[in-house]
Amino acid sequence: MHQLTQQLNFIWELDRLKAVYRQALVQSDGNRRENSAEHSWHISLTAHILHDYAEESVDISRVTKMLLIHDIVEIDAGDTFAFAEQTKLDEQEAKEMQAANRLFGLLPDAQFQQVKALWMEFEEAKTADARFAKAMDRILPLLQNMRNQGDSWARHSVKKSQVIARNKYLMNLAPQLWNYVCEQIDIAVQMGWLQDE
Amino acid sequence: MHQLTQQLNFIWELDRLKAVYRQALVQSDGNRRENSAEHSWHISLTAHILHDYAEESVDISRVTKMLLIHDIVEIDAGDTFAFAEQTKLDEQEAKEMQAANRLFGLLPDAQFQQVKALWMEFEEAKTADARFAKAMDRILPLLQNMRNQGDSWARHSVKKSQVIARNKYLMNLAPQLWNYVCEQIDIAVQMGWLQDE
pLDDT at A188 over 80: yes
Q: Worst-scoring range by mean pLDDT, A15-24, A84-93, B4-13, B98-107? A: A84-93
Q: Above 70 in pLDDT, residue A15?
A: yes
How confident is the prediction for chain B on average, in pLDDT? 94
Listed ranges A34-48, A68-82, B79-93; the one with the highest mean pLDDT: A34-48
pLDDT tens for chain B, residues 1 to 197: 699 999 999 999 999 999 999 989 999 999 999 999 999 999 999 999 999 999 999 999 999 999 999 999 999 999 888 778 888 888 889 999 999 999 999 999 999 999 999 999 999 999 999 999 999 999 999 999 999 888 889 888 999 999 999 999 999 999 999 999 999 999 999 999 999 97
Max CA pair span of chain A: 58
Cβ-based contacts of B35 with chain A (< 8 Å): 29, 38
What ranges make up the beta strands (E) of chain A? 21-26, 32-35
Record: contact A107-B49, CB cut-off 8 A: yes
Q: Which residue of A has its CA nearest to B34?
A: A18
B46: chain A residues, CB-CB within 8 Å: 11
Q: Do B50 and A15 touch (CB under 8 A)?
A: no
Q: Are B35 and A40 in contact (CB < 8 Å)?
A: no
Q: Quick check: B15 and A37 CB within 8 A?
A: no
**pLDDT tens digit sequence for B1-43:** 699 999 999 999 999 999 999 989 999 999 999 999 999 999 9
pLDDT value at residue B82: 77
Evaluate whether B189 touches B181 at the Cβ level (below 8 Å): no
Residue A39 has pLDDT above 90, yes or no: yes
pLDDT of residue A151: 87
Residue of B15, B68, B147 with shortest CB distance to A26: B15
- Within 8 A of A44 by CB-CB distance, chain B residues are 41, 44, 64, 68
DSSP secondary structure, B123-157, as one string: HHT-SHHHHHHHHHHHHHHHHHHHHTTTHHHHHTT
DSSP annotation of A59: -
What are the tens digits of pLDDT across the range A116-142? 999 999 999 999 999 999 999 999 999
Q: To the nearest whole angstrom, how far is the Cα of A100 from the nearest Cα of chain B?
A: 16
- Chain B residues near residue A46 by CB distance under 8 angstroms: 11
Chain A residues closer than 8 Å to B180 by CB: 4
Could A11 and B111 be called an inter-chain contact, meaning their C-beta atoms sit closer than 8 Å? no
Q: What angle do CA B183, B188, B189 make, to 5 degrees?
A: 100
Quick check: ipTM above 0.90?
Answer: yes
Which positions in chain A touch B44 (Cβ < 8 Å)? 41, 44, 64, 68
Mean pLDDT of A31-55: 97
- Residue A159 and residue A194 in contact, taking contact as beta carbons nearer than 8 Å: yes
pLDDT band at A173 (very low <50, low <70, confident <90, very high): very high
Chain B residues interacting with chain A (CB cutoff of 8 angstroms): 4, 7-8, 10-12, 14-19, 26-29, 34-35, 37-38, 40-42, 44-46, 48-50, 53, 60-61, 64-65, 68-69, 107, 111, 140, 143-144, 147, 176-177, 180
Q: Which of A29, A41, A175 is nearest to B33 (CA)?
A: A29
pLDDT at A1: 66
Residue B192, min C-alpha distance to chain A (Å)? 22
* B4/A15 Cβ within 8 A: no
Question: Are the CB atoms for A140 and A67 separated by under 8 Å?
Answer: no
| Interchain CB distance below 8 Å, B41 and A41 | yes
Q: Quote the minimal CA–CA distance from A45 to chain B in Å.
A: 6
Q: Is the pLDDT of residue A82 over 90?
A: no
Q: What is the CATH number of domain B2-190?
A: 1.10.3210.10
3-state secondary structure of B38: helix
Q: Is the CB of B41 less than 8 angstroms away from the CB of A40?
A: yes
Q: Give dist(CA A177, CA A134) in Å, integer.
A: 13
- Is the model more confident about B134 or about A89? B134
